[in-house]
Amino acid sequence: MLLLVFQMAMFTLAQETESASEPDSLDASLASLDLESPFLQDDLELLVGNVQRHNGFVWHDGSLYTICNGDWTIYKIDDQTGDTITFVFGTRDGNTLILEDTSAGFDIWVPDPEVGALWKVDQRRSAPVAISAALDSPWGIARLDSDQFLITDTKINGIVAVNENGAKVDVHSELRAPTGIVKHESRVYFANGGSARRGIEYFSVEANGGYSAVKPLISGLQNTTNLAMGSDGKLYFAYALGTRGVIGRIDPSICLQAGCSSDDVELVVFSDIPAPLAITLSDDLRLFLHSRFRPEIYWLQLPVEST
């Protein structure tokens, strides 16, 4: 498969402003330390490099689960040794996946852009079950409530809600190739991968089940892909500077009133790895990352306050 990297010049844009309600309190379990400077390529530890064409991945309980779009397989990787085993076959692709604990074990949910489906896989490693096959080009996924997911779709430039029976309703439209998405308390943060000006935006989930209008969070981010909410209460995101993959973070509560620009972002990783990147975080703030065009998975320990 030939993969195309869009190279765009780095630029800074004026920030839109819009008022917002008071921020939610952040229930952070760890306090991360501010960085004196970003981590560079030489600071990254190589974990493994044996999955040739992997895409999205997620950390859970000492393991990474990653999708290979070359052989339609989810692999399980030990987060300490890099030992890799085949977990299940049948998911063709996935830019994002989430893993949730259940009474029986766990479920993995995968929006697959190649077939336009939402897949469910459980701990038994049975064949994936298609929950919905009515999606166009799904990219990111976040749990909305006990029965629904929010899924970004780059083809329709929108976000939809899909329940566990496969029913779909529109949530927001007129976005710009929305990619990564996370929900924290009552707010939903998502990336517009096709617009640096619109970078990362957010909306609120109302008490009555409705949704607020979309508001700006961070502008001036190029080719933003995965988002992750850390246990320190900060929002982590992968984006590009030229062709380099970089990772930034911010306390989203400081951007709710008037929005932020790329100048307000704390740069965490400035790598030599080609963008776009996929990222995931462990509970103890180990950051795992890889390029979508390279087999290597790297990691680093983010500094945290000692307790």
Set out the domains of the chain in order of their start, with CATH numbers: 39-301 (2.120.10.30)
Q: Is 13 exposed, middle or buried (0-12, 13-18, 19+ CB in 10 A)?
A: middle
Q: Longest Cα pair distance anywhere in the chain, in angstroms?
A: 50
Per-residue pLDDT of the chain (307 residues; tens, 9 = 90+): 333 333 333 333 333 333 334 444 445 668 888 999 999 999 999 999 999 888 999 999 999 999 999 899 999 999 999 999 999 999 999 999 999 999 999 999 999 999 999 999 999 999 999 998 789 999 999 999 999 999 999 999 999 999 999 999 999 999 999 999 999 999 999 999 999 999 999 999 999 999 999 999 999 999 999 999 999 999 999 999 999 999 999 999 999 999 999 999 999 999 999 999 999 999 999 999 999 889 999 999 999 987 5
d(CA 297, CA 307): 29
d(CA 231, CA 205): 21
Q: Count CB atoms within 10 A of the CB of residue 201.
A: 24
pTM: 0.89
